[in-house]
């Protein structure tokens, strides 16, 4: 759900405490940058009405629940607020300029003709709308906080601006009271007006910047198609995407968006899936292959059957995951939250001490100076930057990830990635292509390897075994015609016997050849080298003599070796875990430069191996396909599901990599670490700003350098702190863009 009216970390703390007090609420998390509250509750609870009651009781707006259709009620509120801010800032700037010129009357000759008392009354009138209309939101917020016997950023600004204005008014209308006490009255109308205007300007810039941080999720929302071509009774009709049901047959024409997820029935085309995977090259699609909502059909027309609609589409799952991630908090933010809970009262205490010290210093005793330093402390100490430090960076980082096909679950995952010590890869389908291909053909007695392949293809023609398909694909690639056989007999787990060109021919493993009493000659010696490389061998025989063999292997993916090397450079250990035998596993590991190999591990045992590593003190990332490896993904500190867009992948993994390219693993780690660096920089700046700013505002530099901080400068510094934090978060976009260009 969405909450309006929050301005700083203290506001977040108040709303979270209020929501957590509702019976049945297990946990409430509030994000300042998005304005969203995430609620985990028991089956029996008070419902939204109770949440609305406690939110409004704290002086904030309940903007409603975020719907599955992607509508977010806070967006309309943000647009209205942005428009109001622009108007108020413009008016405040004009009034502040006029008030400043009036305050400089003695220095400006053209105003010297106006009597000073008259000028002071003019300034009093002009400053009133600048403070109370332009800055009205601060006073309203302060009043609401006071009614709840608490305080926040609005309280600091309202008290600071009002103190400067009230003192100036008293000095304007009752100067004798001050001069009679031996005090020269000064007015600070310009300071009061500038405080409000500059803080609102910071709020305006902050709102604009925060809009950019959420651009990724907005772009994903805009990807949703509106129409679909439904085929029913051989007739084509246009319907709204919302009306499509699972099982419907749909037509997609060139240049159109695919409306929902589905399976291609007829036709073929290329599809641009960049918006989901980040992959720039179009993907070929033909009968039996999956297509996804919002991707763009490029060349041909095809029909497909709908398998996922509405919230079931991969795009909807991605949007939901990104929204959840952007609403999350990193554990490192907890320190900021604890500080925020006591920050405002502490600032008031510091401000009061500042006033008393300056008022009673014998050599510098001055009510005016004491007041101005008091106001400067209140204004400069706003905790906005603390509240924005983490959520803005998470919004940018997770948004960039979604655009690159990297789905990161949230702040906790980002922080864990920074602590990784080991990355474990599943072998089949993760490090390797997941399908066997012919790598070598060896012929005996000077025979043509093409004849060996032709015989093997003819025998394997009627088989549906994956190895048979690999042999047939190789034959097709070489342009070798495939003959027909007679008297075909299959021996499960061993091989095939059939009559080819009048001869009894066989194809199968070594055990089958021995059983059939085939003379192997010197082939066994030659085959030993390939077997040591972890390759699977299909021997081919005519009558009782072997004529050669075909070596097949599940080859590593093109980027696998590079990824392993990059991870090692980052100081990470790389391991491989597989159910294959140790020989095959080590052969693949040698090619990729992986020293740590776990072989002969059953699917259920992968999770146990991950747990053992964690118990040994390692921080473990598990990379798998997201389905078979689900238990291991869940057992790891960070689970990465690669090449998966399924529900189980998204639910089980901490990071889901939509595209098959293994470079996504290094990209995910790099993005996570870059985001955490930005978060730490933001928090450092937020704390550093307050640690340095408050003492300066209190006058700590005056004894040494005769420097005091004008409230106007304090307001500018406060606004700059918030904008700088958001701007630093946005810097992540430039950093990531450079990386993408370098690796593309």
Active site residues: 426
Residue 76 corresponds to which tokens in the numbers above?
């309309």
**Residue 54, Ramachandran bin (φ over 0: left; ψ between -120 and 50: alpha; else beta):** alpha
Largest separation between any pair of C-alpha atoms in the chain: 129
Residue 473 corresponds to which tokens in the numbers above?
């694909």
Q: What is the 3-state secondary structure (H, E, C) of 268-316?
A: CEEEECHHHHCCCCCEEECCCCEECCCCEECCCCEEEEEEECHHHCHHH
Is the separation of the CB atoms in 682 and 388 below 8 Å? yes
Is the separation of the CB atoms in 408 and 668 below 8 Å? yes
Distance from C-alpha of 524 to C-alpha of 505, rounded to nearest angstrom: 19
Distance from C-alpha of 637 to C-alpha of 639, rounded to nearest angstrom: 7
Is the separation of the CB atoms in 219 and 400 below 8 Å? no
Is the separation of the CB atoms in 294 and 275 below 8 Å? yes
Distance from C-alpha of 211 to C-alpha of 292, rounded to nearest angstrom: 28
Q: What is the 3-state secondary structure (H, E, C) of 692-719?
A: HHHHHHHCCCHHHHCCCCCHHHHHHHHH
CB-CB neighbours of 375 under 10 Å: 33
Distance from C-alpha of 294 to C-alpha of 403, rounded to nearest angstrom: 13
| H-state helical runs in 570-662 | 582-592, 603-615, 630-635, 647-652
Torsion of CA 367, 369, 373, 379, to 10 degrees: 90
Q: Which residues contact 593 (CB under 8 A, 6 or more apart)?
A: 561, 564, 565, 568, 574
**DSSP letters spanning 129-184:** IIIIITTHHHHHHHHHHHHTT---HHHHHHHHHHHHHHHHHHHHH-HHHHHHTT--
- Pairing type for strands 486-491 and 495-500 reads antiparallel
Residue 31 β-bridge partners: 36
Q: What is the 3-state secondary structure (H, E, C) of 427-496?
A: HHHHHECCCCEEEEEEECCCCCHHHHHHHHHHHHCCCCCHHHHHHHHHHHHHCCCCCCCEEEEEECCCEE
Torsion of CA 499, 505, 508, 514, to 10 degrees: 130
Distance from C-alpha of 544 to C-alpha of 547, rounded to nearest angstrom: 10
Cβ-in-10-Å burial (0-12, 13-18, 19+) of 305 comes to middle
Is the separation of the CB atoms in 404 and 740 below 8 Å? yes
Q: How far is CA 564 from CA 423, 425, 568, 610, 692, in A?
A: 9, 10, 6, 19, 45
């Amino acid at each position: 759900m969405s909450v309006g009216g929050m301005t700083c970390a203290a506001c977040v703390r108040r709303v979270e405490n209020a929501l957590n007090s509702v019976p049945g609420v297990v946990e409430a998390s509030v994000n300042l940058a998005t304005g969203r509250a995430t609620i985990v509750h028991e089956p029996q609870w008070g419902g939204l009405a109770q949440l609305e009651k406690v939110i409004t009781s704290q002086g904030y707006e309940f903007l409603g629940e975020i719907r599955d259709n992607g509508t977010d009620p806070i967006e309309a509120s943000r647009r209205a607020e942005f428009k109001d801010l622009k108007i108020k800032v413009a008016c405040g700037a004009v009034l502040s300029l006029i008030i400043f010129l009036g305050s400089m009357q003695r220095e400006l000759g053209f105003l010297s003709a106006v009597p000073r008392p008259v000028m002071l009354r003019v300034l009093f009138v002009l400053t009133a709308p600048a403070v109370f209309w332009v800055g009205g939101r601060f006073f309203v917020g302060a009043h609401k906080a006071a009614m709840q016997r608490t305080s926040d950023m609005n309280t600091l600004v309202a008290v600071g601006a009002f103190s400067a204005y009230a003192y100036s008014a008293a000095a304007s209308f009752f100067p004798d009271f001050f001069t009679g006490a031996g005090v020269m009255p000064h007015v600070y109308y310009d300071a009061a007006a500038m405080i409000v205007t500059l803080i609102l300007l910071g709020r305006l810039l902050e709102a604009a910047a925060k809009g950019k941080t959420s651009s990724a999720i907005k772009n994903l929302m805009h990807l949703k198609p509106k129409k679909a071509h439904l085929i029913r009774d051989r007739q084509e009709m246009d319907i709204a995407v919302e009306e499509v049901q699972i099982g419907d047959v749909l037509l997609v024409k060139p240049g159109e968006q695919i409306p929902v997820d589905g399976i291609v029935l007829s036709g073929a085309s290329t599809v641009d899936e960049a918006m989901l995977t980040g992959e720039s090259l179009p993907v070929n699609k033909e009968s039996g292959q999956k297509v996804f909502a919002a991707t763009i059909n490029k060349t041909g027309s095809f029909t497909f059957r709908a398998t996922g609609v509405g919230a079931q589409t991969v795009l909807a799952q991605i949007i939901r995951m990104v929204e959840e991630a952007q609403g999350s908090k990193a554990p490192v933010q907890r320190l900021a939250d604890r500080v925020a809970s006591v920050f405002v009262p502490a600032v008031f205490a510091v401000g009061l001490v500042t006033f008393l010290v300056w008022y009673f210093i014998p050599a510098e005793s001055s009510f005016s100076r004491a007041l101005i330093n008091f106001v400067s402390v209140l204004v400069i100490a706003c905790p906005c930057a603390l509240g924005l430090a983490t959520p803005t960076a998470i919004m940018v980082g997770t948004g960039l990830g979604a655009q690159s096909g990297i789905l990161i679950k949230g702040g906790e995952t980002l922080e864990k990635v920074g602590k990784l010590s080991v990355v474990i890869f599943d072998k089949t389908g993760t490090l390797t292509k997941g399908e066997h291909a012919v790598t070598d053909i060896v012929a005996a007695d000077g025979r043509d390897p093409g004849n060996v392949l032709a015989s093997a293809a003819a025998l394997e023609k009627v088989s549906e075994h994956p190895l048979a398909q690999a042999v047939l694909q190789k034959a097709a690639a070489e342009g070798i015609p495939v003959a027909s056989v007679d008297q075909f007999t299959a021996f499960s787990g061993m091989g095939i016997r059939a009559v080819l060109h009048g001869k009894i021919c066989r194809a199968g493993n070594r055990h089958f050849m021995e059983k059939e009493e085939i003379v192997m000659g010197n082939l066994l010696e030659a085959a030993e080298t390939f077997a040591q490389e972890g390759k699977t061998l299909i021997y081919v025989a005519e009558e009782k003599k072997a004529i050669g063999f075909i070596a097949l292997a599940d080859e590593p993916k093109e980027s696998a070796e590079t990824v392993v090397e990059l991870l090692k450079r980052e100081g990470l250990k790389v391991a491989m875990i597989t159910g294959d035998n140790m020989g095959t596993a080590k052969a693949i590991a040698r090619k990729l430069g992986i020293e740590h190999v776990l072989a002969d591990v059953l699917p259920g045992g992968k999770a146990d191996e991950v747990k053992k590593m964690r118990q040994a003190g390692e921080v473990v990332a598990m990379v798998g396909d997201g389905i078979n490896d689900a238990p291991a993904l869940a057992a790891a500190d960070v689970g990465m599901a690669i090449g998966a867009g399924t529900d189980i992948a998204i639910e089980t993994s901490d990071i889901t990599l939509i595209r098959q390219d293994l470079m996504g693993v290094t990209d995910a780690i790099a993005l996570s670490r870059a985001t955490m660096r930005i978060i730490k920089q933001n928090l450092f700046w937020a704390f550093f700003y307050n640690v340095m700013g408050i003492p300066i505002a209190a006058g700590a530099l005056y004894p040494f350098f005769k420097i005091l901080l004008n409230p106007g400068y304090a307001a500018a510094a406060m606004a700059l702190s918030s904008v700088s934090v958001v701007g630093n978060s946005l810097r992540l976009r430039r950093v990531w863009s450079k990386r993408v260009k370098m690796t593309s």
